[in-house]
Amino acid sequence: MKRLWPQSLKGQLLAAVALALLLAQGFSAILLYRAQSERREAAVVHAAAFRLLAANRREAGKPRNPIRLSPPRDLDGPRSLRIEQSDVSPLIRGDRRDHDAEAELRRILAEQDFAPGEIVVTHRPVSQDIIAQRRLARDVRSHNNRQPHFDRLLVAGVQRDDGEWIVARVLIPPSKLPLVMSLIGQTLLIYLVIVGAMALILRRITRPLAALTERLERFADTRDPDGQMEPEGPEDVRRLIVAHNAMEARIAALLDEKDVMLGAIGHDLKTPLAALRVRIESVDDDTERARMAATIEDIVRTLDDILSLARVGRPQAPREPTELSALVASVVEEYEDMEEPVTLGETNRLVLPLRSTWLRRGLRNLISNSLRYGSTAHVSLLRQDGNAVIRVDDDGPGIDDADIARMQEPFVRGEPSRNSETGGAGLGLALARAVAEQHGGALHLSNRTNAAGKIEGLRAEIWLPLG
């Protein structure tokens, strides 16, 4: 059902209006059909009453004063079927009496000073009435074999004071086709006017909204303030576009200020660090000099991670089609050249629009993180659920399930990283997550367990949408 229902605002509103019109016209058609049926039934009963009154006066020998009842003129077909006189009721097996029609017929006859003893009214198929069949057969011969379209008739019988029954038969005309065609034409006209007007109004509203959505998506991807929209559409939509342009300009200004600040911080910190590298060469103690150099390198690496994490949200380079399997293999080769225990497993050839420099940085962080807390890193590239999955497995202690989400935040480190062997500022996973989200993907962390439920290591995955 969800697939059949439109997903856009314009489509949903038009579908709702169309369904409302369909229901309204459906109820209207039902009411009109019932009114037509009741009017046709009343006409048939009046026709039967007229013929019964005329027959009763002829049989009673009364003067032929005008009957105060006009025969209906909207019944098609033969003008009359023969009035039948019988000693018994006209009901046959299978007939069902119409009590409402009997009450109406009694009322009409009473108004004409005719009070019969008993009244029976029934509806009967023409095929079960011999008299009607004979009359229709004669009409077919006299009208060049054109068969009247009647399939039911009303049989009305009244019992006189002497016990004799007078029976009248009236053919029931079928529903008129012009009414149905009128309803269909009326429905189509209403649909054309209302739905057409709604479509024009919604197009005026949704077109600037669609353009605004595209602008938001482009700005979220590039952070480029150029190409802002001109206000258009209704006043409410125009105000929305103006407010968005102002917010976008403010965001762009804040990002520019942040970049300037980060550049200044990087310059002001890296310059004295470079001077310290030169000065420690004058230290005679080799052990102390090595410790000082390691500290400086750790500060520089942390500073690079901080600057990278701050700038990853506003990439300058556009995405380019990249063979992901070759990129993953080249990063693994870098560690193999340094004789690090990194292995490449299963890979699938996948080409995606990527910012390869950033993705390399994120993958290196995951591999370095695996080597820091474990002894090996196993890298693979898979296709799964419409995504490219870069998987890095290690044999370390893993992460408590309750801490997995927290470990992806900046400057958060696990217990093993607090010693001097692992070090780090807690930015590796945060940077990898930011790179994945920059490409519309996500970073997933999970513990690998054996059959006994014991943790065998951590699994880090970068999911990138193939679409």
User: Two tokens at 279?
Assistant: 């000065």
Strand order in the sheet with 84-86: 84-86, 165-172, 152-159, 119-125
CA distance 450 to 456: 7
pLDDT tens-digit series, residues 236-263? 888 988 998 888 888 888 877 777 777 7
Read off the pLDDT band of 313 (50, 70, 90): low
pLDDT band at 411 (very low <50, low <70, confident <90, very high): low
pLDDT exceeds cutoff 70 at 390: yes
Asked whether the predicted pLDDT for residue 22 surpasses 70, the reply is yes
Give the count of beta carbons closer than 10 Å to the beta carbon of residue 319: 16
Query: What is the per-residue pLDDT across 224-235, written as a single tens digit (0 to 9) for each?
Result: 777 788 888 888
Q: Name the nearest CA neighbour of 112 among 75, 160, 43, 65.
A: 65
| Mean pLDDT across 13-17 | 82
Rounded (10°) CA dihedral 398, 403, 405, 410: -90
What percentage of the chain reaches a pLDDT higher than 70? 84
Whether 424 shows a pLDDT value over 90: the answer reads no
Work out the mean pLDDT of the chain and round it to a whole number. Answer: 80
- State which H helix or E strand residue 296 sits in: helix 286-311
The string of pLDDT tens digits covering residues 26-39 is 788 788 778 878 88
Question: Does the pTM exceed 0.75?
Answer: no
Distance between CA atoms of 240 and 208, rounded to whole angstroms? 10
Count of alpha carbons within 13 Å of 122, Cβ hemisphere only? 17
CA distance 403 to 141: 96
The residue whose two tokens read 């300037």 is 260
The kind and range of the H/E element at 101 are helix 99-111
Would you say residue 418 has pLDDT above 60? Answer: no
Query: What percentage of the chain exceeds 90 in pLDDT?
Result: 13
The whole-angstrom separation of Cα 391 and Cα 311 is 25
Q: What is the pLDDT of residues 324-359, one digit of tens each?
A: 999 999 999 999 999 899 999 988 898 999 888 889
Burial label for 315, CB within 10 Å (0-12, 13-18, 19+), is middle
